[in-house]
Amino acid sequence: MAKRRTQQEWIEAAIAAFSREGVGGVKVERLARGLGVTKGSFYWHFTDRRALLDAVLEAWAEQGTAAIIDAVEASPGDAGDKLRTLWGLANGAGEQAFEVALREWGRVDPEVRAAIRRVDQDRMAYLRKLMLEHGVAPDRVEAKCLLMYSLLIGDWFIDVKHGRKSRKRVLSDALDVLLDR
């Protein structure tokens, strides 16, 4: 019988369901059906549903931040160029759905909240560094970092029309505001 599943396969299925429907969408029985096994078999790989969700969280915490920072650091140019690269990366990434679901989960779970706080801290530190390098006035750096990070995150939750201007154009204008262009 070729119906054996690895822990990794369960985690991948969980991540897909999590991105699509949030924590509530991660159902042991449905995942089992999708993987072609009975739900009982789940409990050989994980102690319970929570352990599976923890594995999902851990996967994100370990490489979610580092991946983006590495990609930006590998790109050419000065701090200003890197800020624009970051802007493009973050707004185009397919992991938005995942992060949105994660932040919602964090509302009801202190452990998740702590993990998010750590990642936000790292990302903000990196933003601060780039902004300072780019020559943004030091007493404005903190406010501008927060504005930029808020737009990055808040953008996933906001869906408005901008009249004549395209959304892409408005986002580019926003960066100009922050970088004193």
154 binds a second copy (CB under 8 A): yes
The first and second tokens of residue 58, run together, are 């851990």
Cα distance between residue 131 and residue 145, in whole Å: 8
- Contact status, residue 103 vs residue 19, Cβ threshold 8 Å: no
| CA of residue 176 relative to chain centroid, distance | 24
50 binds a second copy (CB under 8 A): no
For the bound state, the minimum distance from the C-beta of residue 14 to DNA, rounded and expressed in Å, comes to 10
The first and second tokens of residue 10, run together, are 């369960």
151 binds a second copy (CB under 8 A): yes
Helices 7-21/49-74 angle, 10° precision:
80
153 binds a second copy (CB under 8 A): yes
- One of 124, 129, 132, 179 touching a second copy (CB under 8 A): 124
Cα distance between residue 164 and residue 144, in whole Å: 26
If contact means CB under 5 to 8 A according to the sort of partner, which of DNA, a second copy, none does residue 4 touch? DNA
For the bound state, the minimum distance from the C-beta of residue 37 to DNA, rounded and expressed in Å, comes to 4
If contact means CB under 5 to 8 A according to the sort of partner, which of DNA, a second copy, none does residue 39 touch? DNA
| Nearest Cα to Cα of residue 83 among 119, 143, 133 | 133
Residues that bind a second copy (CB under 8 A): 20-25, 97, 100-101, 103-104, 107-108, 113, 116-117, 120-121, 124, 139-140, 142-144, 146-147, 149-155, 157-163, 165, 170-171, 173-174, 176-178
